[in-house]
Amino acid sequence: MFGKMKNDIKEKLKEVREQGLYKDERVLLTAQGAEITVAGVAGRKKVLNFCSNNYLGLSGHPEIVKAAKDAMDRWGYGLSSVRFICGTQDIHKELEAEVSGFLGTEDTLLYAACFDANGGLFEPFLDEHDAVISDELNHASIIDGVRLCRASRYRYKHSNIKNLEDVLREASKARYRLICTDGVFSMDGDIADLKGICDLADKYDALVMVDDSHATGYIGKTGRGTPEYCGVQGRVDLITTTFGKALGGASGGCTSGRRELIEYLRQRSRPYLFSNTLPPGVAGATLKALKMIEESSEPGKKVSENADYFKEKMKVSGFDIVPGNTAIVPIMLYKEQLALTMAEKLLDKGVYVTGFAYPVVPKGRARIRVQLSAAHTKEQIDRAADAFKKAGKELGIV
């Protein structure tokens, strides 16, 4: 059988390459941080990194690394079990309580990844009597999670409250209605209108679920995420988020929210029941990350200031950037090949960024997504902005 499939797959791979959509992975030779070494760069020169989700600069932070080591010394390397058999340690319970305290929720359930949190969220609660109502730009893991349940699926236009209201009316016959949205949309860096969403949820009797992966730790005055930013803490029924971005960046995720919902997920959510949870080192480091954020909101402020500073410089240079209030700054180039060429040129100039093309973003909406970090210095941001200007001139963009 494989012979036939091999030829088909080779053909498909060729098409991906011809469309300029083939994704090569660059290999880092150092820890994650503002400056990294990347394999294939001549002379192994350090490059500035502007494409990780290391918003608070915690990924390579010595205190986080130490917390992971300490947790491993105390609790070992792994559990060799799912949680309900013999895979729950006190550090997992401590982390769940800490996340609940941090997010202002009633209870929290850990997963190996936020992808799993979303994968296991819908099927336990919803069946053919129910309706899931999704923003059209929601993350792939929400889309996949919804596919695993038998509820009717509705989509509303991206962040379009008027359209959401129409859809809620359409879904009025369902037993339960669940609105789900990303808190921060990763490709455009915009924040969901959670106030508008929660108001409509009240009016049309719906639940609200927010995936705050790109927000937890740095969006909102004290880093509690988009519910804090939008002033709706306590009105969101379920929050999913990752520990693999601002909170140290290793891996892991959770679902947090109303007590009975979390209790039921603990009984029924398949990625929770049938997959190991976080290794203790990751649990310990994530705990440390949350405590650091609670102690000081300075890094959260710094990343926002860095983003504003970079955006201003890019505007002055004449780049087309998507406006927003997060550390994600999309530089629009529209053409697939141009975005990839631009990224190559920037790497030559010592700035590592990634071009995003279809299918990650819609066709004809290719871009370079720049992500700022609290770890960036002004001087590093200046260097990056200068490199953009030079590369943009060489390619006739600005």
Ligand X SMILES: *Cc1c(COP(=O)(O)O)cnc(C)c1O
Which one is catalytic: 61, 92, 139, 245?
Answer: 245
- Computed from CA positions of residues 156, 122, 245, 355, in that sequence, does the dihedral angle turn out positive or negative? negative
**Residue closer to ligand X, measured from CB, 236 or 342:** 236
Contact (CB, 8 A) for 110 and 278? yes
Decide if 61 is catalytic: no
**Residue closer to ligand X, measured from CB, 139 or 288:** 139
Give the separation between CA 101 and CA 281, rounded to whole angstroms. Answer: 21
CA angle 192, 194, 197 (to 5 degrees): 110
Instruction: For the chain, report the end-to-end CA distance as a whole number of angstroms.
Output: 52
Q: Pick left, alpha or beta for residue 345 (phi over 0 → left; psi -120 to 50 → alpha; otherwise beta).
A: alpha
Helix 161-170 crosses helix 194-204 at what angle (to 10 degrees)? 20
Residues that bind ligand X (CB under 6 A): 113-115, 139, 141, 182, 186, 211, 213-214, 242, 244, 253
Helix 280-295 crosses helix 90-103 at what angle (to 10 degrees)? 30
Give the separation between CA 44 and CA 34, rounded to whole angstroms. Answer: 16
Within 10 Å of residue 108's Cβ, how many Cβ atoms? 22
Give the separation between CA 239 and CA 236, rounded to whole angstroms. Answer: 7
Strand order in the sheet with 328-334: 328-334, 366-371, 354-356
> Measuring CA to CA, how many Å separate 131 from each of 101, 150, 177, 238?
30, 9, 5, 16
Question: Minimum Å distance from CB 242 to ligand X?
Answer: 3
Q: What is the dihedral of CA 207, 112, 284, 240, to 10 degrees?
A: -20
> Measuring CA to CA, how many Å separate 353 from each of 56, 73, 291?
18, 36, 30
Give the separation between CA 243 and CA 257, rounded to whole angstroms. Answer: 16
DSSP string, 90-129: HHHHHHHHHHHHHHT-SEEEEES-HHHHHHTTSTTT--TT
Which one is catalytic: 52, 100, 159, 186?
Answer: 186
Decide if 52 is catalytic: no
Decide if 186 is catalytic: yes
Which residue numbers are catalytic?
Answer: 186, 214, 245
